[in-house]
Amino acid sequence: MGKNTLPVVADRPDKMIDLCFKNPAVSESEKKTTDLCHDPHTAKNDENVERGNWSSKTDYLLSMVGYAVGLGNVWRFPYLAYKNGGGAFLIPYTIMLALAGLPLFFLECSFGQFTSQGPVSVWKAVPILQGVGITMVIVSTFVAIYYNCIIAYSIYYLFASFQSPLPWSDCYDWSDKNCSKFPNDLCNVTSEVGRFIVVNTTWLSNKNETCPKQNVIPVPVQNPSEQYWDKVALRRSSGLDETGEVVWHLALCLLLSWIIVGAALYKGIKSSGKVVYFTATFPYVVLLILLVRGATLEGAGEGIEYYIGTQSNFSKLAEAEVWKDAATQIFYSLSTAWGGLMALSSYNKFHNNCYSDSIIVCVTNCGTSVFAGFAVFSVLGHIAHVSKKPVSEVAQSAQMLVFNETLKTYRHQASRTLIRHPWLRCSSFGLAFIAYPEALSKLPVSPLWSVLFFVMLLTLGLDSQFAIMETITTTLQDEFKFLKSKRIYVTFIACILLFLLGLPCVTRAGIYWVNLIDHFCAGWIILIAAVLELIGIGYIYGGNRFIKDIEMMIGEKNWYFWLWWRACWYIISPLVLIAILIWSLITFTSPSYGSVVYPDWGTSIGWCMTAFCLSWIPIIALVKTVKAKGSLWQRIRTVCSPTADWGPYLECHRGDRYIHQQCAWDQNLKKLRETKVSVIINDYNTQL
């Protein structure tokens, strides 16, 4: 054989790699120094040896659950449930899961798994909409910058929890004169001699008397937990105009969070798939512990009864606001249209049952929301019992922190329309970093519960960040093939760059930047992407063709099995998302943080970020059309038709439907045959 080419090896690249792994004549040192033999994000038993596959089904499911389950499952859903009729809210919530959440979730998982490509390359199916994939990745990049800052906040509070008493449990030397653990309202009363006098409401309470609401004179105060958040954790400035210095304890926490993310992803899904065994399951352990502890507290039953008990108000189902809240919560909580579902699913084996996976993840996500509500409201019930207030007032008071970031007395809070912050899955940081830490500080052994709570927040955030970064690195490697063997470098460089870009978010004005990016990048841009995704696959690519693609993976199904999915993909889901989009645009307001209004230049930057994210959709469509050949109509038909290399990634999966398509393997194989790679087969030095 000597220097002759070995045709049988050039049959498929995985056979050549298999020779490297299995041939006893190749030493371990040679395997490690040969790129083809040593690729840290693939394994020799992977079906797709170029991109790699999940090590097990459990790795994938836990990663998907960790990506979907977030802070909104713990905070946002329980609030929406009690606000919209208690247990009655489960009816529109379940219906919207079936109409909008699950159909889009199943579509994206199938789309990514079928072609084994990330959120940009999958649009070879509809080239004119490839800009939608780019928009998803850019939005994910913006979110990755500030989302790790939220994780940094959790890390800081975690370290601060190793103190007794907790530093936010009282007004210590860092507080000002407005700090108080109790309301300082005044009351205008009539004395015994008929004169009007002003007294403190606390004095009236000590005398077992109450002040009529019309006689209350509000005196603004701040709770210790809120002042600790503003003055110690954030060192918050007066506004976006006052940037101030870098808050170094947050910068170090941000660096630590990026080190954790980089270490977890250094081998891609092979390493992150193992980390999620802890990060995806630990929140459930904490929720269970908090539920058990909360259920043993006095008054817990009152909180649970208020949350989802006999006080359910079914008349609420007649209100449009209830259905809007259900649809919005479902859409954002499942993390659809961000690109992450397609990126994670692209590493599945071709015949993986993505249908059952979608059911499992969506049901788990919604079940987590309901379960978390019991833990939250059992504690709120105890607080109501101790403070001798109705649960409704305690819950409303906690939610007002989310809206205003100001812990004034609940009686004087002005009602505001709910503005969503979808990626955080919580309308702001009040509940996570002010209200619930305050509640935990009142429990026995409060540092223990605080540590558990912030570890839970940390793991909830890391799961999502893993998927965001995987979306970014997967896209880079799919679009730039020379990066495939350099995953470790791509991951580390991306982490370093995003850490540097995130430094403005840990200055004294950092919270304003975090809120600004979230306000403009993580809202209705994703709704536009989702609507275009449904139109592109359902109407341009063809819903029936897409169903045939899915059947190539999971097997043929009866026509009535697809009846519901056709109805959702063609009509119901697009209409629901368009309705949410219109509502979001109508109720859109300029960004603000509590009482701090953003300057005009800050709002302009926000609109520039929005334009930058969305502009790729028309730009790519125009470029594709201009590059196409023929008349205008022929060009439009070309860019609305799949490219020549669209289809399953591996030749063995293309079957009769895609037998004439040129897949990625063919292109790589051509390059491979032109590359001289020396391997040792038995005692021969063979040139491929």
463 carries a ligand binding annotation? yes
Regarding whether 190 and 167 lie in a shared domain, the answer is no
Residue 107 lies in a domain: yes
391 carries a ligand binding annotation? no
Regarding whether 447 and 379 lie in a shared domain, the answer is yes
| pLDDT given at position 395 | 63
Regarding whether 97 and 236 lie in a shared domain, the answer is yes
d(CA 122, CA 497) in angstroms, rounded, equals 26
Regarding whether 600 and 530 lie in a shared domain, the answer is yes
Closest CA to 83 of 369, 301, 308: 308
d(CA 222, CA 217) in angstroms, rounded, equals 16
Residue 34 lies in a domain: no
48 carries a ligand binding annotation? no
Q: Which helix (H) or strand (E) holds 187?
A: strand 186-190
> 7 burial class (0-12, 13-18, 19+ CB within 10 angstroms)?
exposed
Chunked into runs of 10 residues, the chain (688 residues) has average pLDDT values of 39 42 44 46 81 94 93 79 84 93 96 96 97 97 94 96 94 89 72 63 67 71 90 95 95 98 94 94 93 88 81 83 88 91 96 96 94 84 77 60 36 31 44 83 90 94 94 95 90 97 96 93 90 97 96 94 96 94 87 89 95 97 96 96 93 86 52 45 40
- CATH number for the domain spanning 153: value is 1.20.1740
Can you give the pTM of this predicted structure?
A: 0.85
| pLDDT given at position 63 | 96
Regarding whether 155 and 189 lie in a shared domain, the answer is no
Regarding whether 352 and 241 lie in a shared domain, the answer is yes
| pLDDT given at position 663 | 52
Residue 48 lies in a domain: no
Residue 298 lies in a domain: yes
Residue 560 lies in a domain: yes
Three-state DSSP state, 326: helix
Residue 11 lies in a domain: no
Structure tokens belonging to residue 67: 């990506």
219 carries a ligand binding annotation? no
Q: Point out which residues pair with 198 in neighbouring strands.
A: 188
d(CA 617, CA 615) in angstroms, rounded, equals 5
579 carries a ligand binding annotation? no
Q: Which helix (H) or strand (E) holds 248?
A: helix 248-264
Count of positions (residues) in the chain? 688
| pLDDT given at position 416 | 31
- Answer for the pair 412, 221: CB distance below 8 angstroms, yes or no: no
Regarding whether 594 and 501 lie in a shared domain, the answer is yes
Q: Domain span at residue 70? A: 57-174+224-402+422-640
330-359 burial by CB neighbour count: b if 16+ within 10 A, else e? bbbbbbbbbbbbbbbbbbbbbebebbebbe
Q: Considering just the CA atoms, what is the radius of gyration of the chain in Å?
A: 28
Residue 10 lies in a domain: no
Regarding whether 84 and 199 lie in a shared domain, the answer is no
- Answer for the pair 568, 484: CB distance below 8 angstroms, yes or no: no
Going by the DSSP 8-state scheme, the letter that residue 539 receives in this structure is I
| Residue type (1 letter), 72 | G
Regarding whether 197 and 75 lie in a shared domain, the answer is no
CB atoms under 10 Å from CB of 412, counted, come to 13
333 carries a ligand binding annotation? yes
Residue 450 lies in a domain: yes
365 carries a ligand binding annotation? yes
Regarding whether 214 and 238 lie in a shared domain, the answer is no
Task: Concatenate the DSSP letters of all residues of 583-624 into one string.
Answer: HHHHT----EETTEEPPHHHHHHHHHHHHHHHTHHHHHHHHH
- Answer for the pair 665, 49: CB distance below 8 angstroms, yes or no: no
Q: How many structural domains comprise the chain?
A: 2
68 carries a ligand binding annotation? yes
| pLDDT given at position 332 | 85
Regarding whether 317 and 245 lie in a shared domain, the answer is yes
Regarding whether 238 and 142 lie in a shared domain, the answer is yes
